[in-house]
Amino acid sequence: MHRTTYTVTGTQLNGISEGATYGDDLEMSTNYPIVKLTSSKGLVTYYKTTNWTPGIATGAARVTCQFTLPKNLPNDLYQLTVSANGISSANFPFRIGPALVPSNVTAVYNSTTKTLTLTGDANANSLTVTLQAGTLTVLGANGTTINHTTQFKTVHSGNLILNATMNDGNDAVSIIGISSTTTNIDLGAGNDKAAITLSHIQNLTVNGGVGIDSVLTTSSTITKYTPTAVP
């Protein structure tokens, strides 16, 4: 579990003025720093700060403040900004959770046999395969790079053959909207996940290898399913 309280260090975090006041009746200060986090998917959240270094318009002096995050905030590489008086800082990369280990998946499509072959490395591979309007797309996530082009045109989508060999690592394979005669998924060693959504597969084979694995199918038709070392 990641820690929940962080310290921000910078310049002029407390703003350049207190804002507006009216005697002892109204206090409309705008110099309280606000932390903004933007996730890799574009989700924006805001957080109050505490324990500010005293002073306003502190110039080049380095000052600090603290902010607290909820324990259930997803691990991700966020962009952090701090604003006061409505003036925002530049973005600063801010990671919650362990650093992502880069991985690579080779994607090869044979238009003659209508076969898509995916081969992962020994790190944690995370990818999504989708088929929409005749376009077959393979996209990597969570640090996974698809090493060639990410799009392949298909002529008869119902005849697609998909072979995915992920090797070791905690892998995640998501298949969305494909129509396939044969789909073979070899997840290899590790704690792996395979998800199949809105797809029609005549013959599905999943080999989980060593580790704790899961296979989830949603709104899909699978005529024959042959699992090995998976639920």
For residue 71, the model assigns a pLDDT of 83
Please determine, for residue 1, whether its predicted confidence score (pLDDT) is greater than 50: no
For residue 123, the model assigns a pLDDT of 92
Choose between 18 and 148: higher pLDDT.
148
Least confident piece of the model among 82-91, 154-163, 173-182, 195-204: 154-163
Least confident piece of the model among 20-24, 182-186, 193-197, 213-217: 20-24
Q: Report the mean per-residue pLDDT for the chain.
A: 86
For residue 225, the model assigns a pLDDT of 96
Q: Are 222 and 196 in contact (CB under 8 A)?
A: yes
Contacts of 214 (CB under 8 A, 6+ apart): 192, 193, 194, 230, 231
> Between the CA of residue 222 and those of 159, 209, 218, what are the distances in Å?
14, 21, 11
State the pairing for strand pair 76-84/115-120. unpaired
SS3 category, 127: strand
- In which element (H, E) is residue 53 found? none
- Strand ranges inside 72-150, DSSP E: 76-84, 87-88, 92-96, 103-110, 115-120, 126-132, 135-140, 144-146
For residue 218, the model assigns a pLDDT of 93
Percent with pLDDT over 90 in the chain: 47
Please determine, for residue 199, whether its predicted confidence score (pLDDT) is greater than 90: yes
Give tens-digit pLDDT for 77-123: 899 999 987 888 888 889 888 777 889 999 998 888 889 999 999 99
Please determine, for residue 7, whether its predicted confidence score (pLDDT) is greater than 80: yes
193-212-171 Cα angle (round to 5): 35
| DSSP string for 170-215 | S-EEEEES-EEEEEEEE--SSS-EEEEES-EEEEEEEE--SS--EE
For residue 159, the model assigns a pLDDT of 77
Give tens-digit pLDDT for 19-41: 655 556 555 555 688 999 998 88
* Cα 123 to Cα 64: distance, rounded to the nearest angstrom: 38
Please determine, for residue 6, whether its predicted confidence score (pLDDT) is greater than 70: yes
